[in-house]
Every structure is written in structure tokens, then in C-alpha cells.
A = this chain, B = another copy of it.
Amino acid sequence: MEPIRNFKELTSYLKALHQRKRIAVVCANDTNTEYAIARALEEGIAEFLMIGDSTILEKYPTLKKYPDFVHIIHIEDPDAAALEAVRIVREGEADILMKGIINTDNLLRAILDKEKGLLPKGKVLTHLSMMQIPTYDKLLFFSDAAVIPRPTLDQRVAMINYAIQTSKCFGIEQPRVSLIHCTEKVSAKFPFSLDYVKLVEMGLAGDFGDAIIDGPLDVRTSCERASGDIKGIVSPINGAADVLIFPNIESGNTFYKSVALFAHADMAGLLQGPICPVVLPSRSDTGLSKYYSMAMACLTCSNT
């Protein structure tokens, strides 16, 4: 498989698969979610189980064009809708779970329920984002901008594994994973940089499979070769990172928001850890971003 380098290639790839993934959407009552659903229907990459109040079809008549691929389950109460959507996914009746306008915490409660939820015991719950940046020549994955404030070593191992698995779905044979810091120096003043040493050792020992792990490196040295050359930094990442692992949620979120706003990057993102991909957009995400997140989910669970 050729690497998928941007969202257009992702969409083309999915269309060519001729597989409709089954997406359960909780409370799809906003126009951005509707845009994403309508587009996925049109591209032929998904069908939908829409769990929510009974006005959805009246509100979005375009969805009536696809009667075979839109199934409505009427549940007025959002919490009850969340529980039902989680049950549907757990019992294999849908491949992907997606949040509409229900409050994130309410949906997460259903996902994290120890008996009836979607997170297997011992699995780390984290968030993996992906950006198409006009000034970078491939997709850039990064974690964690949304869930874990200060990852432990074990959580970082899980984050790296999720990112590698996902980037391999995108045809990246040997993902380059950069461990981000503001300097290339390791120091006890920044305990996460000591974790980075262990992670690099694990990478060299083959614990992450066929992948390159290096750090600490800053964002610029990770993504621009000339920057490392000037500073005399020799790294196998070589200014061509596929994945950035951020030290904490503040830096991950700053990256997400700054590059989206100032470099006009397009975004997608998925929760990692649950038994199926979970699309959990935030209130201010565009319809396009919600659609790309759906497409990312479809790819990661496609059986090719």
C-alpha cells in the first residue's frame, strides 16, 4: 500500500474499498455532524445508526436520500441514547461510535462503564490527532491534546503503540516517532525526559516493531531537516516525523490549536483504547474535521 499523505488521498482510498462501515452516532443534532454524515453517505464509505430524538430526519431531509443506509433509533434522553449506542457497538452491530451534540462527559461515562462499557480492563484511554498542514508534505499524527494531562511511562508506551498502529493503517511502513521537549537535553528537572531515554531504548530493542523512536527533540527539529543541521543534531527522525508525542496536555493542546488556527491545518482525531474507534469531536470542530475523523475511523477498522 502506498502511504496516504493527505485527506484527499484518504477519501479516495476509502471510496475505492467499496465498504460501508457502520457508524453509531449519538444525538446527531447539529449541522456540522449532519454535514459529515451526508458526505460519508455520498462517498459511500459509511452507513449510520442514528440514536437520538425523533426530529433528526425532519431536521435534515438530505439524509432521506439514503433510506437503506440511515437507520434511526428514537431515544429522547441523551444519557439513555449513549447507553444504547455503546450496547450496539459492544454487541457488534456497529463498527464505530461517534458523538453528536451530547456532552462529552456523559458519553464518556457510558464508554468507561466497567461492566457495560467499551474500554477493556487495563487498556489506556488516550487521544490521537492527525493534521494535514499546508506547509508539511505528509500527515502528522500527535498525542495527547485532549485526555491525559501528565502521561506516565506506561501511558506513553500505549500512546506510541496506538500512534504506530494507526500510522501503519495509513501505509507508513516505518513511522518516525518524535518525543517532544523544548530542548534535546535529558535532565532530571524534566522527569518525562528520563522516560524518553527508556522509550528510545525500547525502540532500539524492537519493542515497538518496525518504527523509529527518538527524542527529546523540539517541534522544529522534528519536522524540518535544516533546523537539525544548523544545530548539529543527528537524529534518525531527520526532520521528517510522522508522529509527535507531547510531554503534557498543555503542549499537545497548544500545538493542536496554534497550527489549526495560524497554519490553517485540517484536523481529525480519535479516542484510542476502546474496542472500536470513537469519534469524539469538540463543539467548535468544523463539519470537515468531523468528516475527516470519521474517515480516519473507517480506515483504522477496514479489513484490507
Q: Which of the segments A166-174, A206-214, A241-249 contacts the partner chain?
A: A241-249
| Assembly stoichiometry (copies) | 2
The interface residues of chain B lying within 8 Å CB-to-CB of A247 are 250
**Whose C-beta in chain B lies nearest to the C-beta of A229?**
B284
* Interface size grouping (class) on chain A: 35 or more
**Whose C-beta in chain B lies nearest to the C-beta of A228?**
B284
Complex CA gap A73/B247 in Å reads 44
Complex CA gap A224/B262 in Å reads 10
Chain A 53-95 interface 0/1 with B at a Cβ cutoff of 8 Å (1 = within):
0000000000000000000000000000000000000000000
Q: Which of B231, B250, B258, B265 contacts A181 (CB 8 A)?
A: B250
The interface residues of chain B lying within 8 Å CB-to-CB of A11 are none
The interface residues of chain B lying within 8 Å CB-to-CB of A181 are 250
What would be 30 A-B contacts, judged by CB atoms less than 8 Å apart? A135-B261, A135-B262, A135-B263, A146-B182, A149-B189, A180-B254, A182-B249, A182-B250, A218-B257, A219-B253, A219-B261, A220-B257, A220-B260, A220-B284, A227-B284, A231-B283, A231-B284, A247-B250, A248-B248, A248-B250, A250-B251, A251-B253, A254-B254, A254-B255, A254-B258, A258-B258, A258-B259, A258-B263, A259-B259, A262-B263
